[in-house]
Amino acid sequence: MERRINQLQDLLKSEGIPALYVSNPYNIRYLSGFTGTSAKVLVSQEKAYIITDFRYREQAEKQCQGLEVVVAGGSASQDSPLAFIQRTLSQACYDKLAFEDEDVSVAAYMALDEALDVELIPFSGAIEVLRQFKDDEEIALIEKACDIAVETYDFMLNTVKAGMTEIELANAIDFHMRSLGASGVSFETIVASGLRSAMPHGVASHKVIEQGDLITVDYGCYYQGYCSDMTRTFALGDPGDKLKEIYAIVQEANRRVSEVARPGLTGQELDAVARDYIRQAGYGEAFGHSLGHSFGLEIHEAPNASPSYDEELQAGQLITNEPGIYLEGIGGVRIEDDLLLTKDGNRILTPASRELIIL
């Protein structure tokens, strides 16, 4: 955590910002390691504080190495969090405070403005840029989350059967991931079967899974704060020639992306690898979402692989590879892998089978 704080302090110095008030919960966890639900972080050019209440004092002292733990607002004899911030800024002779404008509500801004005798400076995105590059500890946790997702794919293939509902399958998937050590799901598990597989984000419903259904499952889990995101499509009986055709196209698009993904390509260029192939196969209009996104503490982070993302991808970043084709009234296919960009290319973190499995 100390390295992350130091990186942020270097950025504050380069921007001429005396201190930053951090309120985004994911950024708080990134900087401090704190897993509680009530805290703010104050980072100055010289020091970092985590401000919490009495309930989390012991937890913060154990988790937040490199930050001074401040207990505020728990009793009449204690400073409020904002009173502590004002006193700290005054003692350092700071007349400005940056805040995360994309996270702070109007009401929270008004409270800051009323309590603090400083100029408030909107300042968002800096910590998120640091978060794009995963260190070894983060990668290890993400790998574990991906391992759980991969193992769960085998479980679902052995669990699904005609007559169960999508919700029943989703619940079984979620429980199995928890049994393997996950703390929770990355997002509401998507199970879309039959005609519903044409819905890219068709969350599990009460629809009964039937023989002959093509089934798309998009799922992932959190492991010690970091998530995975994986999609596989399989069939319960023969899905028919049309769906087999689009499966083969999506499978090849996914393979082509994994083959070429590397630092130096822009997100736009990587997206085009899949999009151009699907377009040439005659289904360009049926691939209506971007190729992928990064993930980590949150399920959707920068960078992205999309037609509009023209920044170069870099080593240490993650990107999902999730091409899809969706035909209303027929069905749809998506195959998604998690890629870690390395110095020379990429490493697939979700190596479950991408073949069309017909049960």
User: Whole-angstrom distance between the N-terminal and C-terminal Cα of the chain?
Assistant: 47
Confidence of residue 104 (pLDDT cuts 50, 70, 90): very high
The pLDDT > 90 percentage for the chain reads 96
pLDDT in the model for residue 281: 99
Cα–Cα dist 131/293, whole Å: 14
Q: For residue 6, give every residue at least 6 positions away whose Cβ sits within 8 Å of its Cβ, in sequence order, or none.
A: none
pLDDT at 164 over 80: yes
What average pLDDT does the segment 51-60 reach? 94
Cα–Cα dist 263/269, whole Å: 11
- Residue owning tokens 């997002």: 187
pLDDT in the model for residue 139: 99
pLDDT in the model for residue 148: 99
Q: Determine the longest span between alpha carbons in the chain, in angstroms.
A: 73
pLDDT in tens, 327-347: 999 999 999 999 999 999 999
What average pLDDT does the segment 93-110 reach? 96
pLDDT at 28 over 70: yes
Sign of the dihedral defined by the CA atoms of residues 250, 304, 317, 104, in that order: negative
pLDDT in the model for residue 161: 98
pLDDT in tens, 261-283: 999 999 999 999 999 999 999 99
- Whether the CB-CB separation of 176 and 155 falls below 8 Å is answered with yes
pLDDT at 101 over 90: yes
pLDDT in the model for residue 79: 79
pLDDT at 260 over 60: yes
pLDDT at 78 over 90: no
Cα–Cα dist 238/331, whole Å: 13
pLDDT in the model for residue 168: 99
**3-class secondary-structure state, position 293:** strand
pLDDT in tens, 30-45: 999 999 999 999 999 9
Cα–Cα dist 37/266, whole Å: 37
Confidence of residue 1 (pLDDT cuts 50, 70, 90): confident
pLDDT in the model for residue 73: 76
pLDDT at 112 over 80: yes
Cα–Cα dist 258/270, whole Å: 10
Amino acid at 212: G
φ/ψ of residue 162, rounded to 5: -60, 140
- Residue ranges and CATH numbers for the domains of the chain are 2-131 (3.40.350.10), 136-348 (3.90.230.10)
pLDDT at 75 over 80: no
- Residue owning tokens 């360009």: 284
- Whether the CB-CB separation of 210 and 238 falls below 8 Å is answered with no
**Residue 332, Cα to own-chain centre: how many angstroms?**
24
pLDDT in tens, 207-222: 999 999 999 999 999 9
pLDDT at 76 over 80: no
- Whether the CB-CB separation of 46 and 26 falls below 8 Å is answered with no
DSSP H or E run through 236: strand 230-236
pLDDT at 236 over 60: yes
Cα–Cα dist 339/262, whole Å: 10
Cα–Cα dist 107/139, whole Å: 37
pLDDT at 239 over 80: yes
- Residue owning tokens 């991931």: 177
Confidence of residue 137 (pLDDT cuts 50, 70, 90): very high
What average pLDDT does the segment 12-41 reach? 97
What average pLDDT does the segment 286-313 reach? 98
Sign of the dihedral defined by the CA atoms of residues 49, 54, 60, 65, in that order: positive
